[in-house]
Structure formats: structure tokens, C-alpha cells
Amino acid sequence: MRVVVAPDKFKGSVTAHEAAAELAAGIAEVRPDAVVEVLPVADGGEGTLDAALDAGFERHDLTVTGPAGGPVPAAWGRRGDEAVVEMSLASGLAVLPTQDGRPVLARTATSRGTGELVAAALDAGCTRVLLGVGGSATTDGGAGMLAALGLRLLDVNGRDLPPGGAALAKLHHVDAAQLHPRIRDVEFVLAADVDNPLLGPRGAATVFGPQKGASERDVLDLDAALAVFRDRLADALGEPARQAADAPGAGAAGGVGYAGLAVLGARRRPGIDVVLDLVGLDAAVAGADLLLTGEGSLDEQSLGGKTPLGVLHVGRRHGVPVVAVCGRTTLDAATLREAGFAAVHELRALAADPETSMREAPRLLREVGRRIASQ
């Protein structure tokens, strides 16, 4: 029996690596003869670097500018000439100050730290950079990231703008003369699931700003400021920079998607597809008897292109049954069967209450592994 275990994180409970290890341990207890391959995955957001490291990338630690402007520890991964940058480590909600449990600094949060990670990869000679942008804390259109890569954003007096999306309202001139020279020689892949444009009712500020602590007033101001950023970039770089604002994914990560498309020449791909390629899931599943995947909540959003669906597609391509494991699911049995899952196991079905399910997730995952191996 050969089993591939490829879950995402169970947010608030266990990492993808921990989830995979517990499921594998449970299988081994019942079927010690089974060959179990563990391939933790992610969807381009939190956990992307960890998945890359498990797949053989080398970790490079770096202290960068956090979204609030202070230093934060972060890292990027390298395998040969390929680099992985996870935005959430440098510019994510997890490193943004909160007040009463809500993110703050929506107007001033900067993506500069993400640019510093990208610059490190470029300086190291990497020729392909995979930029995972899920879990971001910023709505600055990627201005901070580009500033870290040498782009100068100047006010009417020729002074550099302060960080954050709101400051872009005063952007008068963009100077690209000092932009990192290696950008034009590097392939950038933007790992982003969302297809939102930069501006308007489906734009970065309107849709995602409130999740990052933006008030109604902040949303209006940030959307207007991002429009100024688009126009000034178009003045400096040409009409394609204006058109990029309407491209699918431009609104990802508070507009970092726009910066990637307009300035870095990035190609957008679904985050889960990027990560599954990184870890080599397709090759691992070939000839397997069973494929396990999962995440904390298996819901409608999961079926829109999150980890379980991406893994399911790989399994179906190879004719391998796919079993999903989750903390909970909001989908009924018919929907799950129609999606193609051979079975679904909920941790909450084994626990007295949701709190216990989250707190004791490692034990419950191991029990689920035993049950799967016994069937």
C-alpha cells in the first residue's frame, strides 16, 4: 500500500507539516507495511515557504521591514536558481499590530519587507522568483515592495513619500532609474488565487481593506490613492502599467499583484498550482493507492480553488482515490461526492466540542490516520 499525504495547515491548530506527520503516523500504526510519502502543501499564502523547505529548498533568514515599519524576522527559500518568497512572513497580518483583536495601521502598512526578500533573491543570482501573496496586511499597491527594489515615489517637492497606501494620494512623480537591474532578466510568478482588479467595487481596498482594519473612509481614500499610483506609474512606464490595473489578480495582496504584473512582468498562477509543482505532487501520486489532503475548514471557498481541490485534481488525473481530512466541513455529503472525494473525515466528529477539536488536533489527526488505514 502506497499512500501520499498532502494536507495544508489547520489554521490555529497545526501546521501542514504537523498534520501530515500525524496522519502518516496513524497509518503506520495500523499498516506498518505501508509506504507513506509526506508532502505538506499550501495555497500560496501562509505555509508556502515551509512547503518549499520540505521539498528541498534551502532557508535564508533575513530581518526585514515589517508592515508597521519596524524590523521583523523573515526568510526566503532557494533551490538552485529558483526562489520562493512568502509575503505573509514579511508583510502579513500575523506581524501587523492589532487593537481589540482587529488589525490597525491600514493606511500606513507597507509591503517593503516583501521587496527586501525579493531583492535578496535577486542579489543571490536567482533567475526565477515565486511570490506567494496570501495573508497580506497591506493596501499600498505594492509601492513598498517596489521602493525596496529601487523605485522612487516622490511628492511635488521631490521628496520620497512615507510608507503606506494613503500616502500615494500625494504621489507626483515616479523615478524608475534606480530600479533593480536584474528584474528584467528574472521570471516572476505571482501565486495568487484572487482575480480582483486593483480598483473599484471589486478592487483591493474595497474588498480586502476591511479585513486589514480599514474603515469605510479608509477604503475610499485608499482606492483613490491607488488610482493616483496607477496613473503615475503609467506616466513613468507607459500605458501597459495602466492596463495592468484591470488585469485579473491586480488586486491581490492589497495591490502587490498589480506591482508584480505592471513592474516585475509577473505571470499569475493559482497559488495551489504553484506549490504543488514545487513539491512535485504529480510525480509522487503516480502509482499511489491513496492520496490524503485537507485543511482546517472544508467549505465553499475550498471548492473555489484552495488546497483540497488542487490536490483532488491531481489524484483524479492519476485515478487515485482522494480522502479529505478537515477540522470541520460546511458541505453536505452529496456536494463532497460530486466534487470527487472518496471520503471526508472531520476532527470535530471525534471531539466533544470545537475547542477540543482544535486543541487536540494532533491526537485526532493520528486517530483519523488509523481509521483510514483500517478501512
Amino acid 90: pLDDT? 98
Residue type, 13: S
Q: Is 265 left (phi over 0), alpha (psi -120 to 50) or beta?
A: left
* List of residues 6+ apart from 224 with CB closer than 8 A: 169
* List of residues 6+ apart from 203 with CB closer than 8 A: 196, 197, 223, 226, 251
Helix (H) or strand (E) holding 23: helix 16-30
Residues 177 and 237 in one domain: yes
367 vs 30: CA distance, rounded Å: 10
DSSP three-state, residue 32: coil
Name the domain boundary from 227, 246, 271: 271
| Distances 191 to 58, 69, 128, 218, 287 between C-alpha atoms, Å | 20, 25, 13, 27, 28
Residues 7 and 128 in one domain: no
Residues 23 and 56 in one domain: no
pTM of the model: 0.93
Residue from 145, 171, 139, 123 nearest 260 by CA:
145
CA angle centred on 257, ends 241 and 63, rounded to 5°: 120
Number of domains composing the chain: 2
Helix (H) or strand (E) holding 148: helix 143-148
Residues 129 and 178 in one domain: yes
Looking up residue 257, the CATH number of its domain turns out to be 3.90.1510.10
47 vs 140: CA distance, rounded Å: 23
Residues 75 and 98 in one domain: yes
Amino acid 347: pLDDT? 96
Residues 79 and 28 in one domain: no
* List of residues 6+ apart from 199 with CB closer than 8 A: 205, 223, 226, 227, 230, 245, 251
Residues 285 and 263 in one domain: no
Strand partners, 92: 136
Residues 356 and 259 in one domain: no
Amino acid 49: pLDDT? 96
276 vs 63: CA distance, rounded Å: 28
Whole-number average pLDDT of the chain: 96
Name the domain boundary from 271, 306, 322: 271
Residues 297 and 259 in one domain: no
Looking up residue 328, the CATH number of its domain turns out to be 3.40.50.10350
Residue 206, C-alpha cell as written in the block: 474595497
pLDDT in tens, the chain (375 residues): 999 999 999 998 999 999 999 999 999 999 999 999 999 999 899 999 999 999 999 999 999 999 999 999 999 999 999 999 999 999 999 899 888 888 989 999 999 999 999 999 999 999 999 999 989 999 999 999 999 999 999 999 999 999 999 999 999 999 999 999 999 999 999 999 889 999 999 999 999 999 999 999 999 999 999 999 999 999 999 999 999 999 999 999 999 999 999 999 999 999 999 999 999 999 999 999 999 999 999 999 888 878 999 999 999 999 999 999 999 999 999 999 999 999 999 999 999 899 999 999 999 999 999 999 998
Amino acid 304: pLDDT? 81
Side-chain half-sphere CA neighbours of 25 within 13 A: 12
Residues 247 and 337 in one domain: no
Could you tell me the residue range of the domain that residue 33 belongs to? 2-39+280-374
Q: Which long-range contacts (CB under 8 A, 24 or more apart) does 178-182 make?
A: 178/150, 178/151, 178/152, 179/146, 179/149, 179/150, 179/151, 179/263, 180/119, 180/122, 180/149, 180/150, 182/122, 182/123
340 vs 224: CA distance, rounded Å: 44
214 vs 203: CA distance, rounded Å: 14
Residues 246 and 349 in one domain: no
Name the domain boundary from 271, 306, 341: 271
Residues 297 and 243 in one domain: no
Amino acid 266: pLDDT? 98
